[in-house]
Structure 1
């Protein structure tokens, strides 16, 4: 294996953002996530313009940021490499028994944590992603162990 690009040498948690279109949940993979304020607790997330997640956010969707468990690595091709505009990720997740409810919303079974977010702003900064910032309005920690990390995806060959 060759030398990694500088942005691939850092290690950070892998998240999935659940957004909603009426009663249909869509989930993606987010690695561009950063806490930006303590009080209030704010997170900044970069969202690809071409995604169902972006479309849902434009419609004012509720948002649950999920901290993924290592067991979720097998879901990265579905959540991160498949378009929610072409495939119902909800149907695939439900058929595998991977959906549960938290805070009145469908989320992934086994996630290490959940953050219910309210959109506070957004900024087009150029490039293929738009920056959104959110306030945490409710959270739950399920486990502090075996969090799926960015380097886990590289080691598994999911991210090159």
Structure 2
């Protein structure tokens, strides 16, 4: 394998952002995520313009950021490579018995942590993603072990 570009040598957690449209959950895969403030606790997430997640966020503010577990590697292609515009991710996850409820929201079963987010703003950054910032209104850590990391996806040949 050749030398990686600088932005591919980091090892950050892999997240799924659950967004809601009339109660129907959609989930995507996010690695462009970072905490940007401690008080209040703020996160920034870059969202691809072409996604259902982007549409949901532009039309509403309800979302849950989910810290993925190693067991979720198998979901990367379905949640990250298929569009919620044409693929019913809730139905797919229900068939696999992977939907749970947390804080009255449908979430991914077995996530290491959940952060309920309130959209504070967004900015077009002239790239292929829009930058959204959120305040964390509630959170829960379920496990600090076996968090799915960016380098795990590279090593498994799932990305890059």
Q: TM-score interval w.r.t. the shorter chain?
A: over 0.9
In the alignment, the residues of structure 2 paired with residue 139 and residue 79 of structure 1 have an alpha-carbon distance, to the nearest angstrom, of 22
TM-score (norm 1): 0.99
Unpaired segments ≥5 residues, structure 2:
none
Aligned equivalents of 1:80, 1:61: Cα separation in 2: 21
Contact 2:61 2:118 in 1 (8 A): no
> What whole-Å deviation, never above 9, does each CA across 1:8-55 have from its counterpart, x for those lacking one?
001000000000111210000000001000000000000000000000
SS at match of 2:133: strand
Which residue pairs with 1:33 in the alignment?
Answer: 33
Unaligned runs of 5+ in 1: none
**Helix, strand or coil for the counterpart of 1:12?**
coil
Residue 156 of structure 1 corresponds to which residue in structure 2? Answer: 156
Q: CA separation in 1, counterparts of 2:90 and 2:61? A: 16
Corresponding position of 1:50: 50
Would the aligned equivalents of 2:15 and 2:67 in 1 still touch at CA under 8 Å?
yes
- Structure 2: distance between partners of 1:104 and 1:120: 21
SS in 2 for 1:16: strand
Runs of 4+ in 1 over 4 A off after TM superposition: none
Give the C-alpha shift of residue 61 in structure 1. Answer: 3.8
Tell me if 1:141 matches 2:141. Answer: yes
TM-score calculated relative to the size of structure 2? 0.99
The number of residue pairs the alignment matches comes to 160
Aligned equivalents of 1:19, 1:94: Cα separation in 2: 16
Map of 1:10-159 to 2, 5 A cutoff? Answer: 10-159=10-159
For the 8 Å contact 1:35–1:43, the answer to whether it is kept is: yes
Q: How far apart, CA to CA, are the structure 2 residues paired with 1:61 and 1:103?
A: 15
